């Protein structure tokens, strides 16, 4: 198996780790990719980013009311 963050994973494909990655464990190495995308285009003055480990994704919410979502700023062409 492979060790990652003090946890032993079996050889082969790992669909989801505790840290929200998908990995492949071989005898010599463990290769992983994240299951989430980090938001970069949002109103940083009025909004904040919160990571949901349950969903393996970020929510962009209002700074003064985290129950209210913020929406990404779309670039105009």
* CATH assignment of the domain containing 50: 2.20.25.590
Q: Please, what are the averages of pLDDT over each run of 10 residues along the chain (77 residues)?
A: 90 93 93 90 91 89 91 53
Domain co-membership, 51 together with 30:
no
Residue 53 has a pLDDT of: 87
Residue 27 shares a structural domain with residue 50: no
42 and 27 in one domain?
A: no
Residue 13: the pLDDT is 96
Q: What is the dihedral of CA 33, 31, 23, 50, to 10 degrees?
A: -30
SS3 64: coil
Domain count, the chain: 2
* Strand stretches in the chain, DSSP E: 2-4, 7-9, 12-14, 21-25, 30-34, 47-52, 57-62
Identify the domain containing residue 66 by its residue range: 37-76
- From CA 35, how far away is CA 40, in angstroms rounded? 16
């Amino acid at each position: 198996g492979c060790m990652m963050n003090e946890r032993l994973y079996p050889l082969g494909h790992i669909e989801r780790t505790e840290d929200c990655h998908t990995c492949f464990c071989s005898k010599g190495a463990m290769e992983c990719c994240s299951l989430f995308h980090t938001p970069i285009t949002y109103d940083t003055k009025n909004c904040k980013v919160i990571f949901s480990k349950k969903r393996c994704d970020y929510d962009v919410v209002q700074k003064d009311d985290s129950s209210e979502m913020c929406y990404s700023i779309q670039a105009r062409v």
